[in-house]
Structure 1
């Protein structure tokens, strides 16, 4: 620390917290007042965890807390989940969160920094310290303030844990009464249209990893089926990183042949080949100081793989037809829907490149594994389509249930296409069940919904009846389910269960071995996604 006043602040706080002050709220408010004076903070707040939600314990500062609360809440949630501190250099320049914060409201052009530090007891995160500080210039360092606040949180954590059993909610002054926090992740929207939407455990795990890896410069490999949102996650990593002010450049490696891809990535000199009339910068140069997203990395040729490996290792390259070595500062994010390990074993993908790009691997779940996100996604997609069509679109519960029961091999991209088609078919602002392609025999995935599969309910039977049924030969399994066309019923069951044989066998009331025999008998080819 540069100033003795910061040591004095910690000493004074320790005296307050170890005193016999009967009111926990009063002890913390006096401690925050000392922090505000010695660190020149505009505002400081202490939130503690109550169940899954943060509640305000104490605060000190100006009376604008209610204006910024939704902005705080997002960061508070992340700190409580991950246990990592978050420091925002200037809240006015945050490009990805909805907020009403503006320079005009604060009456100054000076940057305001936000500090969100975890309050821990041992290894458990039990609360968050939130502070705002107006800096004289953007060059003023934040490390000293962060260090002092982290020392204060250690003292707060011990006091909160010791007093938690006797803690009772205390009415706060009117200036500190805050509106209820947003209840859903979807309530906090990203400003850019590529915002991540999802409240399922799978997507929360993905976002936790994204927030953890974004501040670093490590190469990230995004894995997942087509349409799961790999580019959206790549953009989110970029906007959460220190490179957010730099460019975000994307390249679809599978869309370009080898010769063009090499020129696209590394650029070319004038006269390097027929048609090269001008010098041209490649995507690596254009992404200098930012992020380069290489989609479908598994489709590049061996020749390009060699050159790409050198760039990732040395951060330098030469343009096509040139001799000058160009150095770049680029973070690379790659994505693929292929099994790279299998490609390495087959010799189709270089092992050294695989290890170079697979520094941090993030696997995105398919939509069928996070169906609880479909209502949020549908609402977001319909809002976007409604703006384009100048309509206020809504979806009925019956239509939404139909979407939730679908398999979605095309994932979010297919869901978006399905809703756009339904909005076009709808004669009013409500998307009904009949407007969905599945109900009109026009589904983009006919393998899923050719016909309505008849589901036979299983009644409860006595032990004697069950025993007699067990003695019945299983070869008669077709009779209750299949009438004239056994092959068609097997296909329907497989489609309904996403071509998982074990699930389809249970639906047909047969063993997986019997189903495997039937698939071979009727020559049914297994679909793979």
Structure 2
């Protein structure tokens, strides 16, 4: 471009201020800013890095010349490398020849052949008052004079001030957005989320949060152990939102091969690859107007993460083999049981994608942290299972207490599986502790892990809670002979065929147990 240096700087600052004020997408605004700096003033290879309080690192938010897979490598701790030093000190830094600078780490691998293409490097902090929010850098060909570099520092410092204001405004917008969601009309009552069972304090806190989030367009990241019901919560977010009448589409990211993931998510055109006999509409298009649930998102490969990033950020993509850009209106809910922060630190998950998925993070509590909900959940599951299997089974208070004291490493899913096994395998309608598939001494393989092994003292404690045999007859006497025989046999098996233990489990005397053993012809040898 023609014109004096001052005129070029004025022109560049005018365009940069317009871009930063008008663009709603932070990454796009920063990318355009760096492109303008290059085109107008010849400051090349520009980068804008921001501090992430989650990881404690400075990461590359925008760099027009870098590939996404390279940008994720540019993570530095404060004080590490040139960018880390600028961030830590809050002072500009000029390097006349980065090939000779020990602090220049080139983590992204962007600068190559520096012996032949030597570069002078300038970096300035993004300062908002006394706070340093990040770093702005650019470079020029080597042997640029000190006067030129001094002008570059002054110009980039002005640009960094504009960028810092845009970052601060973005933070304020997010804060106001979260505050606007804090409306009392969004009650966490069970009626608001049909099918969601639980009233414990941790669970109600989670319901309150998703009640606030549901009305917004914000992307939600559900975090929790396997089996906690994250898909059910994702469905609840959708059903409580204005999109409830639109599609709810689920993608299990761990179940789709990487080679097919792009086609599954974005669709493909007819003939785009071998076997593509007709066009295919992807999950993003299927969910248009509704909600797309990305389950097990932490299992995505780095290549798959790069393909997903643009669609998550802009809701735009092209079908495989297509040239037309497709724009969709999709609300995203993702879920994972992985430690995402640790994955980011190890470079296994893209920091920029993590930020875009975790706009609102919701932790689904494990079952062991909401034991008060176990009786409600058990009753709910039994009603469903009874209807499915034409049964009328119910749990005794003693059985419910045993379930409440179990560890439940598989969470709600494991509890349901346990109850389904009881309903399917056991003939009796009254389910006592003896029927639960816990690992008693000498017992069979179970589905549960108890918080503590059931020693003699535990067996005695359960026996004490059981109704005495002399008061109203044996605990199982009214269950019919077939049911009574099965329970006696099961008690003997779980007690290792020690009749005293089995009698205490059943709430009867050893003599009464012996009578039933003989009556029903039960073998006393171990299986």
Question: TM-score under structure 2 normalisation?
Answer: 0.50
Bigger CA radius of gyration:
2
